[in-house]
C-alpha cells in the first residue's frame, strides 16, 4: 500500500520491517571497518567511508520524499560542491542564481573559475538568457535569502533543449514543499541542516536524482573525498524527519501571520514572503509549490536598527541558518552576503503566533 499523506510518509520513511523486540528506528551503527567474508571479501558493508547502514536508511527515507535515489553528505555545501565537481570540467559554463546562497557563488567564482569553469549569474526571477553552451543550470527556488521563485518546469525545458543539465537547490522548501525531480530537474541538492531536520543540532546535505550515471559520478566523488556524514548525525536526521510535516505546518502558518503583520507596519520595508497574495513570487509559488516555507525577508533600514530589534526581542534569536524550532533572524550582510545593511531573513519557529506578534511588536517599537 502506498500512503499519500505527508504526515504518514515522514513518520514511516526509511524504516525497516517490524521485528519483535527491535526498535522502530534502529540505533546508529558506529563502525569504521566491518567483518569481511574471508573468501568473498567486501559485501554490502566493507569500510565506513563508502558504506554505513545508518546512512543508507536515511538516504532511503529522503529518497522516498524527493522521489529519487539519494546520497547523503556531511553538509549542504559538501553536497553542492560534490555535484558541481562531478558534472563540470574545465571549459564548461555553469549558470547560477545571482541572488542565491552566497557561498555557492563565492565557490564558483573562485575555485571553479581557477579550474577553468565559466560562471553566468542569473536572477532567480529572470529574465533567463539562452542556455546554449551551458553545461549546468543551478536553480535555487525560493532563493535564499531574497525569496524570489522561478518556474522550474519552464526553465528546465529550456535548459534541456539547449543540452544543459538542471540541478535545483531544494533547501528552503524541503521535499514536502516542492519536488523538483517531478518538475524536470536532473538533480536535487539540499542542506538538511535547515528545515529538513529542523532541530538545529546536525549538519547534513544530500544529492538526489534518477540518472544512474550522474549519481555514480557523485558517489565516486563522495567516496574519494570522504565528505560523508557520521553515523550519529545520520541517525539524528532520520529521527527528525518524523516531525517534518508538523513542523512545516506550524512554521508556514506562523510565517503567514508574521508576514501580514510586518507588511502592515510603516517602519518595516521590502517584506517578502511567497505566500502573500501581493508578493511578486506568489503566482508561481502557488502553482508550483505544495506548501510555502516559513521564511520571511524584510529591511529595517540599518544594521544598528537590526541590532536594537534583536536585543529587544525575547523570542527571536540572533542566529544564522533557518528552518529550526526556534524563531531566528539573520542580518545577512554581516556574513559578506551582498544584501543591504538592514536586510533581515526571519525564520519562523513553532512558537505560538500570538506570542510572536506581541514580541515583534514590542521589539520593533523599541528599535
* Helix runs in the chain, H state only: 6-12, 53-66, 76-87, 102-107, 113-114, 152-161, 174-177, 212-225, 231-241, 244-263, 282-288, 303-312, 353-366
Report the b/e string of 8-28 with b at 16+ CB within 10 A.
ebbbebbbeeeeeeeeebeeb
**Number of helical H runs and strand E runs in the chain:** 13, 12
Distance CA 135, CA 199 (A): 36
pLDDT number for residue 336: 86
Instruction: Tell me if 241 sits within 8 A of 61, measured CB to CB.
Output: yes
Among 192, 189, 176, which Cα is nearest to 136's? 189
| Domains and their CATH numbers in the chain | 6-241 (3.40.640.10), 244-366 (3.90.1150.10)
CA angle 316, 140, 180 (to 5 degrees): 115
Residue position matching grid coordinates 513542523: 247
Instruction: Tell me if 292 sits within 8 A of 303, measured CB to CB.
Output: no
- Cβ neighbours, 10 Å, residue 47: 14
Q: For every one of its 367 residues, what pLDDT tens digit does the chain have, with 9 covering 90 and above?
A: 667 899 999 999 999 999 999 999 999 999 999 999 888 877 889 999 999 999 999 999 999 999 999 999 999 999 999 999 999 999 999 999 999 999 999 999 999 999 999 999 999 999 999 999 999 999 999 999 999 999 999 999 999 999 999 999 999 999 999 999 999 999 999 999 999 999 999 999 999 999 999 999 999 999 999 999 999 999 999 999 999 999 999 999 999 999 999 999 999 999 999 999 999 999 999 999 999 999 999 999 999 999 999 999 999 999 999 999 999 999 999 988 889 999 999 999 999 999 999 999 999 999 9
pLDDT number for residue 1: 61
Distance CA 334, CA 308 (A): 15
User: The whole model's pTM is what?
Assistant: 0.96
pLDDT number for residue 56: 97
Amino acid at each position: 500500500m502506498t500512503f499519500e499523506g505527508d504526515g504518514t510518509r515522514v513518520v514511516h520513511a526509511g524504516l525497516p520491517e517490524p521485528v519483535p523486540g527491535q526498535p522502530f528506528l534502529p540505533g546508529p551503527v558506529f563502525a569504521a571497518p566491518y567483518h569481511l567474508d574471508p573468501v568473498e571479501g567486501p559485501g554490502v558493508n566493507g569500510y565506513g567511508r563508502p558504506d554505513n547502514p545508518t546512512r543508507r536508511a536515511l538516504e532511503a527515507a529522503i529518497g522516498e520524499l524527493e522521489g529519487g535515489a539519494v546520497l547523503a553528505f556531511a553538509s549542504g555545501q559538501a553536497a553542492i560542491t560534490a555535484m558541481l565537481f562531478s558534472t563540470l570540467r574545465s571549459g564548461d559554463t555553469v549558470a547560477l542564481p545571482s541572488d542565491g546562497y552566497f557561498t555557492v557563488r563565492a565557490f564558483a567564482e573562485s575555485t571553479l573559475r581557477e579550474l577553468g569553469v565559466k560562471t553566468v549569474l542569473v536572477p532567480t526571477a529572470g529574465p533567463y538568457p539562452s542556455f546554449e553552451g551551458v553545461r549546468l543550470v543551478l536553480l535555487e527556488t525560493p532563493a535564499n535569502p531574497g525569496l524570489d521563485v522561478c518556474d522550474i518546469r519552464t526553465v528546465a525545458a529550456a535548459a534541456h533543449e539547449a543540452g544543459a543539465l538542471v540541478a535545483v537547490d531544494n533547501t528552503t522548501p524541503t521535499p514536502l514543499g516542492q519536488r523538483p525531480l517531478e518538475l524536470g530537474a536532473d538533480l536535487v541538492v539540499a542542506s538538511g541542516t535547515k528545515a529538513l531536520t529542523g532541530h538545529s543540532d546536525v549538519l547534513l546535505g544530500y544529492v538526489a536524482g534518477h540518472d544512474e550515471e550522474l549519481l555514480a559520478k557523485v558517489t565516486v566523488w563522495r567516496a574519494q573525498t570522504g565528505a560523508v556524514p557520521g553515523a550519529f548525525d545520520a541517525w539524528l536526521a532520520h529521527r527528525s524527519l518524523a516531525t517534518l510535516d508538523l513542523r512545516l505546518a506550524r512554521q508556514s502558518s506562523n510565517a503567514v501571520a508574521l508576514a501580514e503583520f510586518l507588511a502592515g507596519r510603516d517602519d518595516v520595508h521590502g517584506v517578502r514572503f511567497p505566500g502573500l497574495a501581493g508578493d511578486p513570487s506568489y503566482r508561481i509559488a502557488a502553482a508550483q509549490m505544495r506548501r510555502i516555507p516559513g521564511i520571511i525577508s524584510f529591511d529595517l533600514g540599518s544594521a544598528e536598527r537590526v541590532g536594537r530589534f534583536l536585543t529587544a526581542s525575547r523570542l527571536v534569536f540572533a542566529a544564522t541558518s533557518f528552518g529550526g524550532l526556534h524563531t531566528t533572524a539573520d542580518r545577512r550582510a554581516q556574513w559578506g552576503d551582498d544584501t543591504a545593511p538592514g536586510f533581515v531573513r526571519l525564520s519562523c519557529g513553532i512558537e505560538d503566533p500570538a506570542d510572536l506578534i506581541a514580541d515583534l511588536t514590542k521589539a520593533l517599537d523599541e528599535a
